[in-house]
Structure 1
Amino acid sequence: MSAAGAAAALRQAWTALQCGRPDEARALCEQAIATAPAGVDAWRMLAMARQQLGDAAGAEAALARAAALRPDDAAIAFEFGSVRLQRGDADGAIAPLRAAMAGLPAEPRAAFRYGTAAFVLGRFDAAVDGFAAATARDPQWVEAWNNLAAAHGRLQQYPAAIVAARAALALRPDAAGAHQALAALLSNLFDRPSLEQGLAHALRALALDPALAEAHRNAAVLLRKLGEPARAEAHARQACALAPDDADTVDTLGEQLLLNQRPADAAATYAAAIARGVDRPALRRQHGIALLQDRRAAEAVVALDDALLRQPDDQRAIAHLGLALAADGRADAALDLLGLHRHVHAVALEPPPQFADAAAFHAALADDIRRHSQQRWEPAGLAARNAFLSGDLLTDRTAAITGFERRLREAIDAFLARCRALPDAQRAGDAFLRHVPGAYRLHVWATQAAQAGYIDTHIHEDSWLSGAYYVTLPDAIADEDPAHAGWIEFGRPYAHLRGWPEHAVRTVRPRVGTLLLFPSYLFHRTLPYTGPGERISISFDLAAR
């Protein structure tokens, strides 16, 4: 076949494709390629024919040849990345789709598919970039707005996620799923107006679709935070009736039963779900917690051990396994597991260089916290009592806050380096050290309290390392105080979980300019104090990225 014949074969192949004859198109493309193997268009058309025939692997191979022949062609990169993504190879798709997104600035699908590949790979920052570009290129694309909201949500960037979800809802105001998605995001907030808005959207979703189990589940979470446990349990039960084999729905009901002081019912709920095959490490952990709360410590140890074998970095499982061991009479094993006296570290931070001294730095930092744009009084569902709590401290980019962030990151990076330098055998045998992250994300917030203000007992279950830095402390916090007023206390669990020995409680006197680092699984609280002056501190969570 001559070059002219190859061109004619391609024209015939295109006609065959348009008429639904992919077998004929494939044969004609193969004839053209036999004559002109470097013909990029022939390889692209062959890929289309193979794809119509259901030969995804063959289509990918043809596009790989086209991409090799014309590596800077964004359209080919788009087709090649799309085929790989459709085959489930997000890792192989992301590079060509990134090139397609850059090279086809008016094509929303290229940006959307890049965002999709990144989301599948857990690269949520990149997913945000892709979906944001898709919405900019096609502002009417509801799915792109929904996916942008989901990517922001995975990064716990809830304000941005909520903006995207509202944009999707504006395009489809009567879509039950859009109301449900917005309710789910609002359920992550802590101020009462946002929670009430979330509940309204969950109920609107149920009015549009009464069988939407997710909306019942989110209504339960929102009502829990709003202090309506009976209504929360009712919605959780309806969610379970509609979706009995959904693990998140089972957990919502079980958690509500625990909060409603019915641990035996919660344990039975988790056990029944696991027996039905609704089996996730988190459900096994929750089953163990329910057994512990029901004072069945030995059974709780078995369940929590099993949960940790399945998910060794589960912070709640580690925390409650320590409590279960102590309640079962094995306090030494509990202390060894948790490392209460090994893993609380104090680090002095130098003031940033742009401040004359530590006093000037702390005065500026305290002022920035007092007037922070996200400062809230006693947010619903959080541990602050009679205190102000900021949202993301780093959203206000003042000189003092950015200077603190630099010093904090330096201290964290140095601590991580020391942890990684420890012998492998030492790290492997330690519940904390065996999970030292590589790349990490940081969430930072501030607390401002006067007398009687405090942070109640809690852990940080979605991170690995937590910490507290002290900006301002009242005179009532003293070295020689047997009551430890204003100090931070580690080890003591929630009041309803008994069995933790008093000698295993550790208190640390806070000091201005000192950063405390500790495992996120350690139960901790601050003790109230009486007298003038403020207690202003900054906390952080570090989670693997």
Structure 2
Amino acid sequence: MDKTLTTGTHAPPETPERYRDILALMEAGRIRIAEERARALLAETPDDADAMALLASVIVKSGQFEEAERLLQQTIKLTPREPAPWLNLGRLLQQTGRWGDALEHYRHAANLFPKNPLIAMTLGQLYQRASRFTDAEAEFRRAIEQKPRAPYYVQLGMVLLRQDHIDQAVEAFETAIAKNPKLAAAYGNLGNAEQKRGRMEAAAAAYEKAVALNPKDTLSYVSFGMAQLKLGAAREAAEIFERALGQHGAERRAAAWLPYARAQEFGEMPAGYRAEIAGLVSRVTLTPPDGYGDMDELNRALAAALAEDPTLTWEPPGKATRKGGQTGLLLDAPREPFIAFEKRLRHAIDAHFDGIVKKPGHPYYGQVPRTYHLDLWGTLLSEGGHQHSHIHVGGWMSGVYYIALPPSIGQGTENHDGWIEFGHPPPEFDANFEPKTVSYVPREGDAFFFPSYLFHRTLPFSGDVQRISLAFDVKPTSWR
């Protein structure tokens, strides 16, 4: 989603050169001087919406989000029938992680500007983030009606693919390619659709074309490696994953699949893989937040809130959950008790980061986040419920916190019912080697932290008491 503020409406004829000077200072990284000049400009023309938008675009660079929001709200009051101020405020809400507010803001804007394709596209992307795929599809189609651009067809194809409308998705990607044969993203997503159709050769060809058009398209490059792995070319796949990690840094899927590619090549997992997993997984016991006497009280409040959450969906499409329900992103519209939980979770995460010793070149320990967004969602598993092996492509570090556990959770070395297991490849992968896994018993009040690229799954359990947990992704916005 585009989250860059623009200067909004047309600049008055007497000020374009001063605008350009301020924008040039921003581009050069001279934010303090740009801010001084933008404030001077606004002081001369205090009712100029463009000058307000320009100052807002400068001060967000130094984290002055509250003042930027006030300025952008004022631009809307001054020019309510212009779409640019609405877009600018929406981008600020996205930039600061206020996803629920952004969604409501763009819904309002879409009603005011029903023929603006950019507003429709952004609203569709926000619906897609919230797993409201039908609503997202409707917005993408509305944008296409106004401006049938190739990137819009790519977005439409992506949301169709999330709904398993594979043939329609292929048609959308092919339409995008017909409109712009040099659009790498269209070929990369076409490869994803061909994989879902089981046409690995066609998928590999599409990924290869995407990379040829854009050598920096890491997603398609790694997907090309995954297609090679499924075609039986394990050595070639491993070399692709190694090059991706060497050239593009800690790419999640490359780090996840490299050990399996080497194991597929040699017929066994690398020596010491279990010890490596153990060194990547951390168990943390959380402490009660303010307002709660103990973790039991917090857990009861969390369980009740999850059971009543309106976004709770049974076996949501595109997710790993089976025989259970999963909520949407709970911090997009934050409320208690999740606000209190987030504060304690962030405290534990920050303490964990303080203890990390950096290892240059390592896909997880190579760098440590300074600031980050946090995605949080709930999972409620019933008898036989589980999550098949998966990774979190959008995260850097992921984790799970246990709210309530059934008494049937396994307690011995031979009984791992309901445990979390790391290291097993996903079910669609036809491994010719014996996986090496590490399992941990969950405990109420405990959390596990682990790199998002580490494959993990929950094992089925019996009994009529639900297994309730909160999962989360850490998405860095800056590094230490």
Report the TM-score, using the length of structure 1 for normalisation: 0.76
Distance 1:101 1:135 in 2: 19
User: Which of 299, 305, 329 lines up with 2:236 in the alignment?
Assistant: 299
Question: Contact 1:485–1:528 (CA<8 Å) still a contact in 2?
Answer: yes
TM-superposed CA distance for 1:495, in Å, is: 1.8
TM-superposed CA distance for 1:132, in Å, is: 4.6
Unaligned 5+ segments in structure 2 are 1-11
Structure 1, residues 94-120: CA drift from partner, whole Å, max 9, x if none? 53377469867643223322444467x
Amino acid at match of 1:112: A
Matched, 1:469 2:406: no
Amino acid at match of 2:160: L
Matched, 1:173 2:111: no
Matched, 1:264 2:201: yes
Structure 1, residues 106-165: CA drift from partner, whole Å, max 9, x if none? 43223322444467x697967973645533443222122234334444566443333333
1:67 counterpart residue number: none
User: Which of 137, 155, 162 lines up with 1:199 in the alignment?
Assistant: 137
1:533 counterpart residue number: 465
Distance 1:516 1:526 in 2: 13
Question: Contact 1:451–1:532 (CA<8 Å) still a contact in 2?
Answer: yes
Structure 1, residues 167-225: CA drift from partner, whole Å, max 9, x if none? 443343234444334333323332xxx32222223233333444x21222122112112
User: Which of 214, 225, 244 lines up with 2:151 in the alignment?
Assistant: 214
User: Which of 418, 421, 427 lines up with 1:495 in the alignment?
Assistant: 427
TM-superposed CA distance for 1:310, in Å, is: 2.5
Structure 1, residues 365-413: CA drift from partner, whole Å, max 9, x if none? 3223222354343333222333232333344432x43432232122111
Structure 1, residues 441-499: CA drift from partner, whole Å, max 9, x if none? 22222212221333333211222111111110001102126352211111122222233
Distance 1:339 1:118 in 2: 44
Structure 1, residues 238-266: CA drift from partner, whole Å, max 9, x if none? 11222232232222111111222222211
Distance 1:539 1:324 in 2: 28
Question: Contact 1:187–1:218 (CA<8 Å) still a contact in 2?
Answer: no
1:340 counterpart residue number: 277
Counting only pairs closer than 5 Å after superposition, residues 71-470 of structure 1 correspond to structure 2 as 79=18, 83-86=21-24, 89=27, 91-93=29-31, 95-96=35-36, 99=39, 106-117=47-58, 129=69, 131-153=72-94, 157-190=98-131, 194-210=132-148, 212-277=149-214, 279-329=216-266, 333=270, 339-352=276-289, 354-372=291-309, 374-394=311-331, 395-398=333-336, 400-419=337-356, 422=357, 427-470=359-402
Counting only pairs closer than 5 Å after superposition, residues 503-514 of structure 1 correspond to structure 2 as 503-514=435-446
Distance 1:342 1:447 in 2: 26
Question: Contact 1:247–1:279 (CA<8 Å) still a contact in 2?
Answer: no
1:245 to 1:531, Cα distance in 2 relative to 1, 3 A = same
Greater displacement, 108-117 / 300-309: 108-117
1:374 to 1:135, Cα distance in 2 relative to 1, 3 A = farther
SS, match of residue 444 in structure 1: strand
TM-superposed CA distance for 1:503, in Å, is: 4.4
Q: Percent identity?
A: 28
Computing the radius of gyration over CA atoms, which structure comes out larger, 1 or 2? 1
- Kindly indicate which of the two structures has a greater share of residues assigned to helix: 1
Distance 2:41 2:392 in 1: 38
Distance 1:134 1:256 in 2: 43
SS, match of residue 536 in structure 1: strand
1:332 to 1:492, Cα distance in 2 relative to 1, 3 A = closer
Question: Contact 1:472–1:536 (CA<8 Å) still a contact in 2?
Answer: yes
Report the TM-score, using the length of structure 2 for normalisation: 0.85
Question: Contact 2:35–2:59 (CA<8 Å) still a contact in 1?
Answer: no
Distance 2:326 2:241 in 1: 32
Question: Contact 2:55–2:68 (CA<8 Å) still a contact in 1?
Answer: no
2:417 counterpart residue number: 485
TM-superposed CA distance for 1:332, in Å, is: 5.3
Question: Contact 1:118–1:126 (CA<8 Å) still a contact in 2?
Answer: no
Distance 2:181 2:111 in 1: 32
Distance 1:233 1:124 in 2: 43
Unaligned 5+ segments in structure 1 are 1-17, 21-44, 52-78
Distance 2:66 2:229 in 1: 41
